[in-house]
Amino acid sequence: MPNIKSAKKALRQSKSRHTQNLAKKKAYKYAVKEFRKLIADGKTKEAQKLLPLMYKKLDKAAKIGVIKKNKASRLKSRATQLLKKPSK
């Protein structure tokens, strides 16, 4: 445990930021999984509706630094490619 007042505050800040980061991480991962599940099931209309929500979650996670900007861009690009790919 920290003894100095500033170290105690830093620990409190670190804990709260950790929970916020986990929440953002879970949110974007859930959105990506749901999107991929819809694509796998052949439900392109529902996936089309979920795409803006997934973009929003990825952008917010990248904005606060949970993931890097390029990772968010890559996930969005691959999702769009999945949606445009003709189903077999």
Helix (H, G, I), strand (E, B) or coil at 66: coil
Which pLDDT tens digit goes with each residue over 11-61? Answer: 999 999 999 999 999 999 999 999 999 999 999 999 999 999 999 999 999
Q: How many Cα atoms occupy the beta-carbon half-sphere of 37 within 13 Å?
A: 8
| Alpha-carbon span 22 to 68, nearest angstrom | 15
What pLDDT is attached to residue 85?
A: 77
Q: What is the largest CA-CA distance in the chain?
A: 63
pTM of the entire predicted model: 0.85
* Tally of domains within the chain: 1
For residue 77, give the CATH number of its domain.
1.20.58.110
Domain that holds residue 57: 5-84
Which pLDDT tens digit goes with each residue over 66-84? Answer: 999 999 999 999 999 998 8
What pLDDT is attached to residue 38?
A: 95
3-state helix, strand, coil in the chain (%, to 5): 85, 0, 15
